[in-house]
Amino acid sequence: MSTAQKSPPPYLIVRGSLPPPPPETSVAVVGLGRVGLPLALAFAAKGLRVIGVERDARTRAAIAEQRMPFHEPGCDELLRTRPLEVVADVSELSDGSLPEYVVITVGTPLQAHIEVDLTQLAAVTRSLGKVLRKGQTIVLRSTVAARTTEYVGRVLTRETGLMPGEDFHLAFCPERIVEGKALVELETLPQVVGADDEASRARASALFSVFPVDQLHTSLVGGELIKLFNNVTRYVSFALANQFALIADQFGESVHPLIAMANHDYPRDPIARPGFAAGACLRKDFGMVSENHSTTDMLVAAWRVNEYMPNFVARKLAEHAGGLHQKTIAVLGYTFKRDTDDPRDALTPKLLRYLEREVPREVRIVEPNLGGEIPLEHGGTARNWELTAALRGADAVVLAMNHSRFADVRRFVVGPDAIVAPGAWVADLWNVCNTGELFFCARPQVVGGP
Ligand SMILES: NC(=O)c1ccc[n+]([C@@H]2O[C@H](COP(=O)([O-])OP(=O)(O)OC[C@H]3O[C@@H](n4cnc5c(N)ncnc54)[C@H](O)[C@@H]3O)[C@@H](O)[C@H]2O)c1
């Protein structure tokens, strides 16, 4: 990027509603996943002329049938009432038909190394280079490591000879929604608008003015870092709660009531709850920060604590239960967080691998948010058990997730209606059974009773 064009970052909070872009403003959203599809539907609902770009044929087929390829509240209705035109590749938007705005929302996973995988972004940028024209605005919305938007600009310059900030506009406007609340949060969360020149900032700002939210104007790198700071804070706060669970366990205490009491009417910095923390955002976003330096820092420590939790749960459960060899284990929850149907980068598969090392008789997985079978990480599927069928006669239970559809679990695990095996041990990471215990015996066998 030419440094001559770079204006100092404004760090400006623009409050309230800005004038929206003219109706019929055209925008392409590239990558119709959990972020891109809700955004495309929300833009269309605001009257913009939207075209989707999605390389996955199954996703395109679902959208053509006006059917959401995944669960996101409110999106089914938007898609049913307003069909979305979708093409497979940006380069199909040629002959001057490329919309005024292109918003890139492709996946940015982490490599097996501590390194962001830019394969999807590189492919989109190369395709975009075939059709980019002067005056267009490119907005990167995927979560990326610092300086990645500059990289997008450099690729576009290499492919076209056009300069960001002079011939076309370039901005970074991160997505900050959580799955399950996409449409609500697009209308309520302040929108970060990162750009290194005034014209790009103004163009990106105008597009996102369709949403009645404050805008946070900053530089490209500023926008990239704000997004990472938000996610890394969550990741570290979950790691801290997990560390507290390990410390409490060392002292023979249960962490759930301790955290509840520490938080009770205490006005500062509530402690999160322990649990598996990974998923398509949190774990990889830590990697995006960490790839830029060599030293061990507190983010690496947070990563280690969160990654250790499945091992801890499997090992402690085995210890309490007197071993898990030839036992039946029910594992409740497979997706990466409460009430989502997204299994990407969840920690339950890692837990299952540790449980399998104990060589149990059977492991029964229950995931009510997945309609059919359980998709396994390296291909194939496993049976998705109905809750009571999985719990009946189970010798051990892991509550790996606190889905709202597990509200009844307590009834089947403790109390007179319990259907687990007598003496069954439970690992309740989320205190779903409300016993206050991380590990407890569900139906203690009374020795020498009447
Ligand atoms: N999922 C979330 O809750 C969330 C929240 C905030 C930010 N983010 C970030 O947003 C980005 C997207 O996340 P996601 O969860 O939507 O990912 P996703 O994998 O669900 O969606 C990405 C989509 O892009 C498509 N794609 C990839 N390359 C393409 C190409 N060359 N042309 C057309 N389509 C292409 C993929 O087929 C896929 O459907 C990531 O950077 C993620 O970190 C995600």
CATH number for 98: 3.40.50.720
Give yes or no: residues 84 and 131 share one domain.
yes
Q: Is 143 in the pocket of ligand 1 (CB under 6 A)?
A: yes
Model confidence at 245, pLDDT cuts 50, 70, 90, reads: very high
Does residue 63 carry a pLDDT above 90? Answer: yes
140 or 3: which leads in pLDDT: 140
Give yes or no: residues 211 and 283 share one domain.
no
Where a domain ends, among 193, 218, 243? 218
Least confident of 36-40, 113-117, 191-195, 305-309: 113-117
Give yes or no: residues 128 and 35 share one domain.
yes
Where a domain ends, among 218, 242, 267? 218
Least confident of 155-169, 276-290, 389-403: 276-290
Residue minimizing CA distance to atom 25 of ligand 1: 31
Q: Is 224 in the pocket of ligand 1 (CB under 6 A)?
A: no
Q: Does 272 fall in a domain?
A: yes
Mutate to test the pocket of ligand 1, among 105, 127, 176, 289 (most ligand atoms within 8 A of CB): 105
Give yes or no: residues 193 and 298 share one domain.
no
Over the stretch 320-363, which tens digit does the pLDDT of each residue have? 999 999 999 999 999 999 999 999 999 999 999 999 999 999 99
Model confidence at 279, pLDDT cuts 50, 70, 90, reads: confident
- Residue 85 has a pLDDT of 96
Does residue 197 carry a pLDDT above 80? Answer: yes
Give yes or no: residues 166 and 254 share one domain.
no
- Residue 434 has a pLDDT of 94
- Provide the number of structural domains found in the chain: 2
Where a domain ends, among 218, 252, 278? 218
Q: Which two tokens stand for residue 243?
A: 């560390």
Does residue 7 carry a pLDDT above 70? Answer: no
Report which ligand 1 atom has the smallest distance to the Cα of 178: 3
What's the whole-number mean pLDDT along residues 108-122?
Answer: 92
| Strand partners of residue 399 | 332, 428
Give yes or no: residues 206 and 315 share one domain.
no
> Whole-angstrom Cα distance, residue 49 to residue 150?
27
Q: Does 450 fall in a domain?
A: no
Does residue 450 carry a pLDDT above 80? Answer: no
Give yes or no: residues 82 and 15 share one domain.
yes
Apex 150 CA angle, 149 and 154, nearest 5: 120
> Whole-angstrom Cα distance, residue 102 to residue 217?
19
Give yes or no: residues 307 and 165 share one domain.
no
- Residue 71 has a pLDDT of 95
Q: Which domain holds residue 50?
A: 9-218
Buried b (16+ CB within 10 A) or exposed e, 201-222: bebbbbbbbbbebebbbbbbbb
Q: How many angstroms separate the alpha carbon of residue 60 from the centre of ligand 1? A: 14
Tell me the HSE value of 64 on the side-chain side, using a 13 A CA sphere.
Answer: 11
132 or 6: which leads in pLDDT: 132
Over the stretch 140-175, which tens digit does the pLDDT of each residue have? 999 999 999 999 999 999 999 999 999 999 999 999
> Whole-angstrom Cα distance, residue 309 to residue 338?
17
- Residue spans of alpha helices (H) in 291-386: 298-320, 348-357
Give yes or no: residues 346 and 262 share one domain.
yes
What's the whole-number mean pLDDT along residues 21-43?
Answer: 95
Q: Is 125 in the pocket of ligand 1 (CB under 6 A)?
A: no
Q: Does 50 fall in a domain?
A: yes
Place of tokens 């590239």: 30
Least confident of 16-30, 407-421, 430-444: 16-30
Give yes or no: residues 200 and 238 share one domain.
no
Does residue 96 carry a pLDDT above 80? Answer: no
Mean pLDDT of the chain: 93
Q: How far is CA 208 from CA 173, 195, 388, 393, in A?
A: 9, 14, 47, 54
Give yes or no: residues 99 and 236 share one domain.
no
What's the whole-number mean pLDDT along residues 218-239?
Answer: 96
- Residue 377 has a pLDDT of 81
Supply the pTM of this predicted model: 0.93
Does residue 259 carry a pLDDT above 90? Answer: yes
Can you give the length of the chain in residues? 450
What's the whole-number mean pLDDT along residues 225-231?
Answer: 95
Give yes or no: residues 179 and 251 share one domain.
no
Mutate to test the pocket of ligand 1, among 30, 34, 231, 232 (most ligand atoms within 8 A of CB): 34
One-letter amino acid at 208 equals F
Using alpha carbons, select from 146, 430, 145 the residue that is nearest to residue 277: 430
Q: At what angle do helices 148-160 and 220-250 cross, to 10 degrees?
A: 140
